[in-house]
Amino acid sequence: MKVYSAYFAHESNSFSPLPTTLDSYSQNCLYRPATGEGRDILDQEFTDDLAFIPILQSRNHEVCIGPLAATTPSAPTRKEDYELIRDELILSLKEAMPVDAVIIFMHGAQLAVGYSDCAGDILHRIRAVVGTKVPIGVELDLHCNITAMMLDSADVIIPCKEYPHTDFAEEGRNLVGIIEGAVKGDLHPKMTFSPVPILGYFHTTREPMSVLVAETRRLEQEEDGLLSVSICHGFGLADVAHTGAGILVVSNGEQQKAQEIAQSLGDQLFAIREQIKAPLCSIEYALDVVQKNGNGTVVIADTTDNTGGGAAGDSTFVLKAMIERNITNVALSLLWDPMAVDIAMKAGVGSQLAMRIGGKVGPHSGDPLDVMATILAVRSDAFQIMFSSKTPLGNAVALDIGGITVIVNSIREQVFDPRCFTELGVDPWKLKAVVVKSAQHFYAAFAPFAQQILYVDGPGSVTADFGKLPYKQLVRPIWPIDETPFTVGGREWS
């Protein structure tokens, strides 16, 4: 079959201090068939969220690749830049016509100025081009906010199931299988979505969330007519009406059963809400643990400064507390400060100088810190592995500031991998503690070696304390901002 594929992904944080433009995509991932910009991306190994493309190719399908555009989470995309990429996507689809199917990856919580539902907007336009008979399949990030426009426009939507997102390739394979069946006429997929009025970050690495995820997989395998069963976690930092979690079931001729299972899983998700919310602690508590800890490395996730949620990645709250408490034999990565990197690289390895580091983007960044730094390492070719693909750290330096090693870099990116330390010559497992700027994606690579993992909820722009955020569009009531029981969508939630 002939499949049109594209990639347009951005997790949009309405409260992020960092604007998002075409340049933001250029700096991360941008291939524009219309201009040829970024054509080299096609020659590289695709990231896991695009695994469906090589999977399609390996099954001898013809794949027409449209625009590939993704960037680190930040504020909603500038209107004209969003429209530019969207219109190029639609144009390249028209040029590819006729096609037998469309398979596309989007984030599901993408906003642009003037657009509260980019995925719905794009899918609606794709449907207008391909007509009603061509199946449209969509893979999403589980931090998606599902809308009626998405459900009406696409045939199959499958979010990943794991947080950290380690299963993009697996779900991509599932999606390809369903679309193949639909094109052949063997399958007639229908979607059922049951919203759940909760906000939060729900790690699938712990019970009972891991149990509920296992249940979705069991249902897919054992229940006749259920093609895909997914928990959509929602993305609470997108200030739009449809923000929230839900259960999405793709079924084949079993809509009644799908409806019942979606509701039942939704009720189960709501019931375990207190147990699955991220186990956050204060900075002070985390540092107490570090100071008392005997052996092994404590991993502290600086969740509120997670660039993967739209934060700047330059906040100094944890670092300042460590300095004030004279905690040594610890390291922190990645502090985003291209100006400090430039200074350190000019000074060179071995030199010692007074520097001002971090705290440079806005109030959520905390105060910049004036430190005496020794330059331990300088690299311009270091990388880490993100969802199985190499992603560069940009210019990066390791600074020693009185027994604390700080990795500072020039590309705003969260920590996925211990290479964020080892590439700069720091062995994290010889230290008392490492601080990683990430909410959860660090987990897969760090957990096997960590003595324990602590999730810190300090000040920052990716707060999990949703009650503090100045929402304007969010539909209330919603947990945890509003206390249960409450009534939403004609249902009582308690």
C-beta of 284 vs 367, nearer to other proteins: 367
Binding mask 67-106 for other proteins (x = CB under 8 A): -----------x----------------------------
As measured in angstroms, the least distance from the Cβ of 253 to other proteins is 49
User: Shortest distance, CB of residue 148 to other proteins, whole angstroms?
Assistant: 31
Cβ-contact 315, 387 below 8 angstroms: no
| Rounded least distance, CB 73 to other proteins, Å | 14
Contact between 74 and 310 (Cβ < 8 Å): yes
User: Is residue 362 part of the contact set for other proteins (CB under 8 A)?
Assistant: yes
Contact positions with other proteins (CB under 8 A) in 10-29: 17-21, 23-24
Total site size for other proteins, rule CB under 8 A:
29
* CA-derived radius of gyration, the chain: 23
Report d(CA 70, CA 67) in Å as an integer: 10
Angle (CA) 287-16-382 rounded to 5° is: 65
Is omega for the bond preceding 477 within 30 degrees of 0, making it cis? yes
**Does 361 contact other proteins by CB under 8 A?**
yes
Q: Which residues inside 327-346 make contact with other proteins, applying CB under 8 A?
A: 338-339, 343, 345-346
Cβ at position 365, least distance to other proteins in Å: 7
Site string for other proteins, 420-459 (x = CB under 8 A): ----------------------------------------
Kindly state the DSSP code that residue 112 receives in the 8-state scheme: B
Q: Could you tell me which residues come within 8 angstroms of residue 204 by beta carbon, excluding any fewer than 6 positions away?
A: 161, 162, 163, 210, 213
Q: Starting at the earlier edge strand, list the strands of the sheet with 226-232.
A: 189-196, 245-252, 226-232
Give the count of alpha carbons within 13 A of 399, CB side only: 31
Q: Shortest approach of other proteins to residue 373 CB, angstroms?
A: 11
Q: Is 377 in the site for other proteins (CB under 8 A)?
A: no
CB of 19 to other proteins, least distance (A): 4
Shortest approach of other proteins to residue 412 CB, angstroms? Answer: 10
CB of 352 to other proteins, least distance (A): 11
Nearer to other proteins, 59 or 468 (CB): 468
Per CB under 8 A, the list member of 365, 409, 414, 438 interacting with other proteins is 365
Q: Is 402 helix (H, G, I), strand (E, B) or coil?
A: coil
Instruction: Among 368, 392, 459, 477, indicate the residue that binds other proteins (CB under 8 A).
Output: 368
Q: What beta strand segments (E) does 259-416 contain?
A: 280-281, 298-302, 330-336, 352-357, 369-386, 389-401, 404-409
Residue 64 φ/ψ region, left for φ over 0, alpha for ψ in the -120 to 50 degree band, beta for the rest: beta
Distance CA 250, CA 261 (A): 11
Asked if 143 is part of the footprint of other proteins (rule: CB under 8 A), the reply reads no
Residue 355 makes contact with other proteins by CB under 8 A: yes
- What is the DSSP code (8-state) at residue 123? H
Question: Could you tell me the smallest distance in angstroms from the CB atom of residue 80 to other proteins?
Answer: 9
User: What are the φ/ψ torsions at residue 71 (nearest 5 degrees)?
Assistant: -150, 165
Q: How far apart are CA 370 and CA 245, in angstroms?
A: 42
356 lies in the site for other proteins, by CB under 8 A: yes
Binding residue for other proteins, selected from 10, 107, 161, 360, defined by CB under 8 A = 360
Residues that bind other proteins (CB under 8 A): 17-21, 23-24, 78, 338-339, 343, 345-348, 351, 353-356, 359-363, 365, 367-368, 370
